[in-house]
Amino acid sequence: MKTINKIRLELADWLYNAGIVGVANILDANDVAYKRGINYIEFEETALENFEEKYFKYFIDKYKKFTSWYNIVKYEDVILNFKEENVDEEYLENINKQIDYVKEKLKSASYKSAYVIIQNKEKDLLKEEKQLNKIKKNKKQKVEDVLPNIKEQLNRMQQIIEYLKTDEVAKIILAKNIIYDIIAKFWSDVSFLNKNNNKKNMYEEYRIYFVDGTLQYIEKIIEKAKYKCFVCDRKISKLSKPVSYDLTWINKMGVDMSRKTSHFWDLSGDTFICPICNFVYSCIPAGFTVIKGQGLFINQNSSINNLIAVNKHALERNTTFEELEDASYFSIVENINQNKVEQLDKEIENIQIIKLDSTNVVRPYTFNILSKDKLKVMNGNKKMLQSMIKVKVKVGTKEYLNLYKEVVTRLYEGKNQFDLINQLFHLRLDKKFNKLHFIDMIIKINNNFIGGREKKKMVHHKVINDCKGFGLDLRISYVNKKAENKLNGISYRLLNALKTKNTSKFMDTLLNAYMYLNKQVPTIFIEGLKDTDKFQTLGYAFLLGLQGEEMKENKKDDIKEDMING
Amino acid sequence: MRLKCEYKTKEIPVGYNMLLVSLIKEALKKSDENYFNKLYKYDENIANKRSKNFTFAAYIKNYERAEEIFKVNDRVILNISSPDLEFMINLYNGLLKLSKFQYKTFELYKLKIDLIKEKKLATNEVIFKTLSPICIKNKNNYFMKIEDDKYIDELNYIANLVLKNYRGEGLRENLMFMPLDMKKVVVKEEIRGFKSKTNRKYLYVNSYSGTFKMKGNVKDLEDLYALGVGFKRNQGFGMIEVIG
Ligand SMILES: [Zn+2]
């Protein structure tokens, strides 16, 4: 009986790890069992049977909705729901736009190269393309006059869609889409990405180049072989394909890769890797998540489970890269096991965040480090941060501020939030923002952040709440005195004093405000006079209370929102 | 920061500075006893004579002099200046609580408190006027004449000390002092301790009021504008205002 070989892939540098996550993702998507160790995955060689199918299935499942194939096919809804009475100028314009799009795609090089591969020749899409034409209507004509033509063109499109939806056609065209949109951002030159193989079946090409060699290799690893794989140290007997491979086909890795701590090479071509590693590298695109040419991989390598979990993303058609990033940061924090707080220090490692920008030919990859300290703050403020996800604040006619992003970015960059808090207050005073409880959260998160760096700069939460209370009291007194109209002016002056960290200007305004009421000034502020961070925390908390009334009004909506986000 | 506190009273002693010092202390005590003790006491009963970061000046509106008192027809106005916000908050809170103040037989009733806008100094040369007279002493504790060659040295000495006390840093640049229209004022001051030692009821403080020009580092001038100039600032001397 033949023994079944096992393949173990151990974590290494980020690039290799992306490949391992890719392999795991592909296996997961195809319900293939494999073992997850702490720092490795292990699977039987049978997992590689039909791996080419599994490989493309993974990408197609994940990215289908982003492809041109999908853009063409999803129009079926419109066609099937077509009703003559709904047709108007706008509707016609929409159809024509779609016709343009379909024509452009059908005659594109990528589609043309797919036609050659497709066995099902039932339809000639190039001919179909020529027959599909925009609906022309002169000025004298009404929409009704061109109805027959509309129906005809929609019918043509429907025929095309039906053909595109057949299994084989979909499989090939989607694979072409995926290769172009995703895989080619990471590697080139070999297998189906070799120019000579453009018109060959990509599934075949993948199997031949990446899978067959691996299977042959694991059948007989020669322990006495002369050479070693640069990445995994497995023995290799020859420095030529299909026994060993170079790394020149992997797209530029950027400057950071030359650091000696990383498993790295000089890309000169004399570095050789075994077929297994070659296979792993082919799965890098499946380890990243890519949206519109931008890719993200988070090298949280404290364990395989974490690594796979933080890189798992459910994408929607309209998911933006920014949202993807936000969600990832959040899932990093989610993945920190916080059952045992005392273990937090051990458990949190610095985490590398690798971003791919495929439009940057010279340095497509950029690297960021998420430090322990920052993660701790994130972890400690998880709930508040979570409620900010998807909260957008309008700051210009078309400009929006993504609150979560703003806060998290500052935390990651080790900056305080005072500028953001100030900006939000300005928007609030200009009546462009009223979700005051978010300002409250940001003040508290920021206070925790400041306290995390220097304990004595932190203000007790009770003191923050007291300051808010004083602000609210002052507001109520002004309202009772029918002097509510003065509050905006006071708020603006306080806000400007806080922005410039001018304590005397702040106290001046405060004293004036209290004097007007013949009331004492809360001495709580004296504590803040000794430290600008404290001063700002207390000052903004007071200012928040001073806006009090609206805070209550909005409470209901806010709770609802939190529930949606939470 | 500058506060103006107005009081209604029938009369006030001619040497009213001690009454006002007592009023200020009472206000601070009312506001925060700990703060008051920190400021005025070393130990339980030992006075802290270290100079404090404020100065004041009084103005009596519509009065008649009668022997040792002023008969006040309108009101007494107390102006207090300090760059020390903690001091000013405590002072304000205390003055607010103190609607009636009794000193010996004198009774003062608070009318209102206002905040006075400070002027912004833009140049290193400023013309000031005194709100309360400036008093300069030499090392031997003699009140100095403004004509004295050493007057400006002693003025620099005390300015340096006052600044150091407040901000930890003394004068950044030497001060130039040019009297424009300064007149000698003798302030009659009643001090219990003084009386017992010398058997005299009053201390006569030689000082000067009027207008003068001062040149120096802008930040120094700003802080001195708030803290006051010269000796005995905490007893009603050396408060100044920018003119022009
Ligand atoms: Zn290898």
Mean pLDDT of chain A: 87
Percent of chain B whose pLDDT exceeds 70: 96
Chain B residue closest to A513 (CA)? B115
pLDDT value, residue A347: 57
Q: Do A520 and B114 touch (CB under 8 A)?
A: no
pLDDT value, residue A316: 85
Which residues of chain B make contact with A503, given a CB cutoff of 8 A?
85
- Residue A282 vs residue A557, higher pLDDT: A282
- Answer whether residue A373 shows pLDDT above 60: yes
Q: Do A523 and B97 touch (CB under 8 A)?
A: no
Please give the CATH architecture assigned to the domain spanning B125-242.
2-Layer Sandwich (3.30)
- Answer whether residue A558 shows pLDDT above 50: no
pLDDT value, residue A565: 33
What's the topology of domain B2-116? Alpha-Beta Plaits (3.30.70)
Name the band, by pLDDT with cuts 50, 70 and 90, for residue B29: very high
CB B143 within 8 A of CB B135: yes
Interface test mutation site (partner B, options A501, A506, A508, A516, max chain B beta carbons within 10 A): A508
Q: Do A521 and B93 touch (CB under 8 A)?
A: yes
Spacing, Cα B164 to ligand 1 middle (Å): 71
The string of DSSP codes covering B113-163 is: EEEEPPPPP-SSEEEEEESS-B--B-TTSPBPPTTSTTHHHHHHHHHHHHH
- Residues 6+ positions from A193 with CB-CB distance below 8 Å: A179, A183, A184, A187, A249
Interface test mutation site (partner B, options A503, A505, A509, A520, max chain B beta carbons within 10 A): A520
Identity of the residue numbered A531: D
Partner-chain residue, chosen from A503, A512, A519, that has the shortest CB–CB distance to B85: A503
Ion ligand 1 — residues with CB < 5 Å: A 229, 231-232, 234, 274, 277
Question: Which 8-state DSSP code applies to residue A228?
Answer: E
- Residue A107 vs residue A334, higher pLDDT: A107
Q: Which of A153-157, A347-351, B169-173, B232-236 has the lowest mean pLDDT?
A: A347-351
Chain B residue closest to A516 (CA)? B114
Spacing, Cα A232 to ligand 1 middle (Å): 4
Spacing, Cα A279 to ligand 1 middle (Å): 9
- Answer whether residue A485 shows pLDDT above 70: yes
- Write down the pTM of the prediction: 0.69
How far is the C-alpha of A437 from the C-alpha of A557, rounded, in Å? Answer: 11
Name the band, by pLDDT with cuts 50, 70 and 90, for residue A261: very low
Which residues of chain B make contact with A507, given a CB cutoff of 8 A?
1, 85, 88-89
> Left if phi > 0, otherwise alpha if psi is -120 to 50, otherwise beta: which for A100?
alpha
* Region B95-99 average pLDDT: 96
* Region A234-262 average pLDDT: 70
The whole-angstrom distance between A539's CA and the closest CA on chain B is: 15
The whole-angstrom distance between B115's CA and the closest CA on chain A is: 7
Chain B residue closest to A527 (CA)? B86
CA distances from B47 to A281, B165, B201, B231, B243 (A): 81, 17, 22, 18, 36
For the purposes of burial, counting CB atoms within 10 Å of the CB of A483, is it exposed (0-12), middle (13-18) or buried (19 or more)? middle
Nearest residue to B136 (alpha-carbon basis) of B168, B102, B161, B116:
B161
CB A206 within 8 A of CB A283: no
* Region B216-226 average pLDDT: 97
CA distances from B188 to A190, A311, A502, B14, B185 (A): 103, 84, 40, 7, 10
| CB contact A517 to B (< 8 Å) | no
pLDDT value, residue A268: 45
Name the band, by pLDDT with cuts 50, 70 and 90, for residue A376: confident
What is the four-CA torsion angle of A75, A79, A82, A86, rounded to 10 degrees? 40
Q: Where are the alpha helices (DSSP H) in A120-233?
A: 125-131, 147-165, 167-181, 202-206, 213-219
Read off the pLDDT of residues A448-484 as tens digits, 9 standing for 90 and up: 888 877 888 888 889 999 999 999 999 999 999 999 9
pLDDT value, residue A556: 45
- Answer whether residue A401 shows pLDDT above 80: yes
Interface test mutation site (partner A, options B38, B115, B119, max chain A beta carbons within 10 A): B115
Q: Which of A199-208, A524-533, B84-93, B208-217 has the lowest mean pLDDT?
A: A524-533
The whole-angstrom distance between B109's CA and the closest CA on chain A is: 15
Name the band, by pLDDT with cuts 50, 70 and 90, for residue B223: very high
Which residues of chain B make contact with A527, given a CB cutoff of 8 A?
none
Chain B residue closest to A510 (CA)? B89
Q: Do B89 and A504 touch (CB under 8 A)?
A: no
Chain A residue closest to B94 (CA)? A520
Percent of chain A whose pLDDT exceeds 90: 58
Boundaries of every domain in chain B: 2-116, 125-242
Which residues of chain A make contact with B88, given a CB cutoff of 8 A?
507, 511
Interface test mutation site (partner B, options A470, A511, A512, A524, max chain B beta carbons within 10 A): A511
- Answer whether residue A99 shows pLDDT above 90: yes
Percent of chain A whose pLDDT exceeds 70: 90
Name the band, by pLDDT with cuts 50, 70 and 90, for residue A319: confident
Q: Do A507 and B83 touch (CB under 8 A)?
A: no
Q: Do A520 and B92 touch (CB under 8 A)?
A: yes
CB A364 within 8 A of CB A252: yes
pLDDT value, residue A390: 81
* Region B15-29 average pLDDT: 95
